[in-house]
């Protein structure tokens, strides 16, 4: 089959790389792709917000399957457009994408189906918001309703800070129109886990649990980014907790969607807080996480193209019987190398060296923001590379990933030195 991947980041590089390994795949295309992705796929230019143009491209390329990386084209209705043209797509409809594109929609959905989540109030003016600030008698979490590229959530520990953030959101100063409506919610305590499943709306294929690292500096300090690293190992969740998440969160979510006439075909990402009362939903994403996917796919032993085609065509249940979709034992780690200044302003065009040396011991470097100049890779984004390695233990995977990262150089390169530390503490406490 021919597969078209939509997107241009490290997640899409990992998807293209893994899809290419499937026996049944002839060609992998990527729109718009990147210099790094061009090593795995034929890149075609295009605007990821223009769903008609993307669907035309899928038709022109004879794509038997389109895999959508980012949320923006899903929220714009790409899956609906492809489905209307009789084309297979791994990614949910525009209606389902509201689980990510509107925090108010997601929270009301969670409440409607009694899925565990933090108590909340939705509001669009001061009159409704001000009384809610004191509702939980402590810190409050303010969330812009709309898509805000990871900048729309603030945990305010002080009332004065909460009022300032409220003001900045409602006035449109913080994240523009995305913040003109918002959710105020209770702050939850516990450990965060990302739990993703592939689903055709009925059958569910759980992916290994992961943890990501949003803050730019070690020890979770500094501003939030798109993600500075992730790791996957089986110690993150016990079997009992995994079962609870599937029963108390994933199943009622898919049941609720079906009750509303939505058959969800794609990846459902549940951002969870494991609280003393059990797992609770912090957020839904309607697509693969980035950089979780880089770590996950480096451990995935299954045939990604066959699996995603089954997701897209509603045959996952039948396919699962014959599918070998297990995981390399042990762990995997992805360290994101970013440009100095990110997530603020940063320079680009810095020559990158050491990429081959980094991969010489079995690591894989996924490109998140690179370009090619005179035959050499140069930096072209805030997040530049995702250095990914696996190992028989989490210690071994962490060591291999940092060893690989240490061989790479570009001016101003920065990465966190504590990726997977929580997992290492857990492993050593056993
Ligand atoms: P979200 O986009 O809703 O996942 O929020 C981004 C981040 O903010 C999460 O990954 C958490 O670290 C934090 N966060 C969101 N909601 C809460 C909450 N109710 N309690 C504590 N932390 C939260």
- Summarised one tens digit per residue, pLDDT across range 281-294 is 999 999 999 999 99
Distance CA 120, CA 107 (A): 8
The reported pLDDT for the residue numbered 283 is 96
The reported pLDDT for the residue numbered 325 is 64
The reported pLDDT for the residue numbered 342 is 96
How does pLDDT run across 336-363, given as a tens digit for each residue? 999 999 999 999 999 999 999 999 989 9
Of the candidate ranges 88-97, 149-158, 211-220, the one whose mean pLDDT is the lowest: 149-158
pLDDT(168) > 70: yes
Mean of the pLDDT values across residues 33-55? 97
> pLDDT confidence of 177, banded at 50, 70, 90?
confident
The reported pLDDT for the residue numbered 320 is 87
**Ligand 1 and 282: CB distance under 6 A:** yes
How does pLDDT run across 70-87, given as a tens digit for each residue? 999 999 999 999 999 999
- Ligand 1: nearest atom to the Cα of 187: 20
**Ligand 1 and 414: CB distance under 6 A:** no
**Ligand 1 and 155: CB distance under 6 A:** yes
- Pairing of β 2-7 and β 27-32: parallel
> pLDDT confidence of 181, banded at 50, 70, 90?
very high
Mean of the pLDDT values across residues 176-194? 93
Residue ID of nearest Cα to ligand 1 atom 16: 282
Q: Nearest to residue 366, comparing CAs of 390, 349, 384?
A: 384
Which of 153, 227, 228 has most ligand 1 atoms within 8 Å of its beta carbon, as the pocket-test mutant? Answer: 153
Q: Residue 338: in which H helix or E strand, if any? A: strand 331-338
**Ligand 1 and 139: CB distance under 6 A:** no
pLDDT(303) > 90: yes
> pLDDT confidence of 430, banded at 50, 70, 90?
low
Distance CA 235, CA 330 (A): 9
Which of 282, 289, 422 has most ligand 1 atoms within 8 Å of its beta carbon, as the pocket-test mutant? Answer: 282
Mean of the pLDDT values across residues 235-239? 93
For residue 307, give every residue at least 6 positions away whose Cβ sits within 8 Å of its Cβ, in sequence order, or none. 198, 205, 316, 319, 323, 325
**Ligand 1 and 190: CB distance under 6 A:** no
**Ligand 1 and 335: CB distance under 6 A:** no
| Residue 239: HSE in the Cβ half-sphere, 13 Å Cα cutoff | 0
**Ligand 1 and 416: CB distance under 6 A:** no
The reported pLDDT for the residue numbered 128 is 86
Distance CA 339, CA 371 (A): 14
- Measured in Å, residue 282 CA sits from the centre of ligand 1 at 6
Of the candidate ranges 47-56, 169-178, 327-336, the one whose mean pLDDT is the lowest: 169-178
Residue ID of nearest Cα to ligand 1 atom 12: 192
Residue ID of nearest Cα to ligand 1 atom 11: 282
Which two tokens mark 139?
A: 């810190």
Compute the C-alpha angle 280/281/287, nearest 5°.
150
> What percent of the chain is modeled with pLDDT above 90?
84
> pLDDT confidence of 311, banded at 50, 70, 90?
very high
> pLDDT confidence of 402, banded at 50, 70, 90?
very high
Mean of the pLDDT values across residues 39-56? 97
Mean per-residue pLDDT over the chain, rounded: 95
The reported pLDDT for the residue numbered 188 is 97
**Residues β-bridged to residue 27:** 2
- Measured in Å, residue 207 CA sits from the centre of ligand 1 at 21
> pLDDT confidence of 13, banded at 50, 70, 90?
very high
Residue ID of nearest Cα to ligand 1 atom 4: 283
Mean of the pLDDT values across residues 107-136? 93
**Cβ proximity of 179 and 134 under 8 Å:** no
The reported pLDDT for the residue numbered 175 is 85
**Ligand 1 and 220: CB distance under 6 A:** no
Compute the C-alpha angle 269/271/275, nearest 5°.
145
The reported pLDDT for the residue numbered 159 is 85
Which two tokens mark 92?
A: 């949910």
**Cβ proximity of 21 and 364 under 8 Å:** no
> pLDDT confidence of 189, banded at 50, 70, 90?
very high
């Amino acid at each position: 089959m021919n597969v078209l991947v939509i997107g241009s980041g490290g997640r899409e590089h990992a998807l293209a790389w893994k899809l290419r390994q499937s026996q049944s795949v002839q060609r992998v295309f990527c729109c718009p792709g990147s210099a790094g992705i061009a090593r795995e796929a034929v890149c075609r230019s295009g605007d990821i917000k223009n769903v008609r143009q993307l669907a035309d491209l899928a038709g022109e390329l004879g794509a038997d399957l389109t895999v959508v990386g980012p949320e923006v084209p899903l929220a714009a209705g790409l899956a609906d457009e492809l489905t209307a043209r009789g084309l297979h797509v791994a990614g949910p409809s525009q209606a389902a994408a509201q689980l990510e594109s509107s925090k108010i929609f997601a929270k009301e959905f969670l409440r409607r189906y009694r899925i565990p989540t933090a108590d909340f109030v939705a509001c669009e003016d001061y009159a409704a918001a001000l009384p809610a600030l004191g509702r939980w008698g402590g810190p409050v979490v303010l969330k812009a309703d709309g898509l805000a590229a990871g900048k729309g959530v603030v945990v305010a520990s002080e009332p004065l800070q909460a009022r300032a953030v409220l003001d900045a959101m409602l006035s449109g100063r913080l994240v523009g129109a995305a913040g003109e409506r918002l959710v105020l919610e209770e702050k939850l305590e516990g450990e965060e886990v990302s739990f993703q499943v592939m689903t055709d709306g009925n059958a569910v294929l759980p992916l290994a649990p992961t943890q990501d690292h949003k803050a730019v500096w070690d020890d979770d300090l500094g501003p939030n980014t798109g993600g500075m690293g992730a790791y996957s190992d089986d110690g993150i969740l016990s079997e009992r907790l995994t079962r609870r998440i599937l029963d108390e969160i994933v199943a009622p979510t898919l049941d609720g969607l079906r009750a509303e006439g939505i058959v969800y075909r794609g990846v459902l990402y549940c951002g969870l807080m494991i609280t003393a009362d059990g797992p609770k939903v912090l957020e839904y994403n309607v697509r693969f996480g980035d950089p979780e996917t880089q770590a996950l796919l480096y451990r995935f032993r299954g045939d990604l193209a066959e699996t995603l085609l089954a997701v897209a065509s509603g045959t996952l249940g039948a396919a699962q019987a014959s599918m070998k979709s297990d995981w390399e034992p042990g762990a995997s780690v992805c360290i994101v190398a970013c440009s100095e200044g990110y997530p603020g302003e940063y320079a680009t065009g810095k020559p990158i060296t050491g990429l081959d040396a980094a991969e010489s011991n079995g690591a894989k470097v996924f490109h998140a923001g690179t370009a090619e100049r005179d035959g050499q890779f140069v930096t072209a984004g805030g997040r530049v590379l995702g250095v990914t390695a696996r190992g028989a233990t989490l210690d071994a995977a962490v060591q291999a990933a940092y060893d690989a990262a240490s061989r790479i150089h570009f001016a101003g390169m920065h990465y966190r030195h504590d990726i997977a530390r929580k997992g290492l503490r857990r492993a050593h406490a056993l």
